Copies of this chain bind each other. A is one copy, B any other.
Amino acid sequence: MSKNKQEDILEAAMQLFAERGYDGTTIPMIADKAKVGAGTIYRYFDNKESLVNSLFVKCVTQFSDILNSEFPGNSGDVREQFSHIFYRMFQFAKHNPYALLFIDSHCMGYYLNEESNKVYDDFLAFIIGAIEKGQERGAIRQLPSNALIAIVYGAFIMLFKMEQAGALENTGQLLEELEESCWNAVRII
C-alpha cells in the first residue's frame, strides 16, 4: 500500500503509455496496474488527456533537470559539455526507461496541450543552446543546430530502444565508444 496514490497512478500510466501508447491504454488498465479504483484516477486528474499532459510535463522536466544539473556551462570546454549531456542522457534512460520511451513516443501526440508543447520545446532549446555555443567556439560543425540535435538525440534514442529490445547490451566500455562515435558525428574533423 503506497502512501501516494497520485504517484502510483502516474507510474502505472507511464509504463502503459510507453508500451501501448495513449489511445491503446485504457483507464481500467491504469487503475488495475496502480491498484486503485477507476474512479480514483478522476480525483487526481480531470480526465485522461489531463493525465497524459501532467505526466508528460513531469517526465520532460525530470529529463531536463538531469541534463541541466552540474552542467559545465561557461567554464567547461565543448568536448566536456558534449560528454556531460551524452552520459546524463544515458543515466536518465537507465534509471527511467519508461519515462524516456513515453517522452519519445508521445512528444508529437495530438492530445498534448500548449503547456506540454512548451515544456518540450524548452527542453530542446537547452540542448540547442549548448550546441550553438560549441559552434561559436569552432569545435562543432557548421550545421543547423536542429540537425546536430537530431543526429545525437536520434542516435541516442535508437540506441536506447535497441537496448530495451534486448538487441544490445550496454556496458561501460561500449558507452564510451558510442559517446565517441556521436562526438565524431558533430565535431569538426
Contact = CB atoms under 8 A, between A and B. Distances in A.
A114 interface: no
* Main SS at interface, chain A: helix
A97 interface: no
A57 interface: no
Interface stretch (A4-12, A17-25, A41-49, A58-66): A17-25
A122 to B, nearest CB: 14
Nearest to A128: B167
Nearest to A152: B155
Contact of A185 (B24, B143, B181): B181
A144 B23 CA distance: 35
Given A23-B21, A178-B151, A168 B146 contact: yes
B141 A181 contact: yes
Nearest to A23: B23
B182 A151 contact: yes
Given A143-B174, A149-B162, 4 more contacts: A143-B181, A146-B168, A147-B174, A184-B189
A131 interface: no
A154 B147 contact: no
A182 B154 CA distance: 11
A174 B143 CA distance: 8
B24 A110 contact: yes
Given A174-B144, A184-B185, A185-B181, A158 B150 contact: yes
Contacts of A189: 184, 189
Interface in A131-185: 141, 143-144, 146-147, 149-159, 161-162, 165, 167-168, 174, 177-178, 181-182, 184-185
Contacts of A20: 23, 110
- The 3 A-B residue pairs with the shortest CB-CB distance, nearest first, are A154-B158, A23-B23, A185-B185
